[in-house]
A = this chain, B = another copy of it.
Amino acid sequence: MKIELLTIGKNNFPFIEEGIQFYSLRINKYINFSIRYLPESKKLFNMPAGERQRREDEIFLREIKPGTFLILLDERGQQKTSLEFASFMQQLMNRGYRHIVFLMGGAYGVGEKIKQQAHEKLSLSRFTFPHELARLIFAEQLYRAFTLLKGEPYHHE
């Protein structure tokens, strides 16, 4: 199984990049995980939010292969505890999905098309986070989920 976090735009903060690499390396001891940073299209910057969402939806959808289990990371999604999230990941593995994509929308969020295609909507918190920090939080929770599933202590190395 392969897990991907699909996002738009780079990490501009070195501390975020370092943190994400820290957790990504550790997740990859358990499972194939990577973050894909789609390039931000400057052409979209001056568009109205709705139009920008529609265009970004199309950009995202081109990257998602058929048969992928798609989870939208969205403020209005369902919140899970770390244990619930771990058990959710276990269920997906049991169901035999080969490719799981977590999608984090652009600055204006995603449009209706992605919302309809997503199999699940998951919220990290009621707080609004900058995208970069949200990526770091997600990576840490995914790492935590696998340490929980493997019954391993959570190492604060």
Contact = CB atoms under 8 A, between A and B. Distances in A.
Contacts of A133: 136-137, 140
Contacts of A125: 79, 124-127, 137
Interface string A93-106: 00000000000000
Interface residues of A, number: 30
A81 interface: yes
Contact of A82 (B15, B81, B127, B137): B127
Given A15-B18, A156-B12, A141 B124 contact: no
Interface in A17-32: 18-19, 22
* A-B interface, 7 closest residue pairs, ranked by CB to CB distance from nearest: A125-B125, A15-B18, A15-B19, A15-B15, A82-B128, A79-B126, A81-B126
Interface of A: 12-16, 18-19, 22, 79-82, 84-85, 124-130, 132-133, 136-137, 140-141, 144, 154, 156
20 contacts: A15-B19, A16-B19, A18-B18, A19-B19, A80-B127, A81-B127, A81-B128, A82-B127, A84-B126, A85-B127, A124-B125, A125-B126, A125-B137, A127-B141, A127-B144, A128-B144, A129-B140, A132-B156, A133-B140, A137-B137
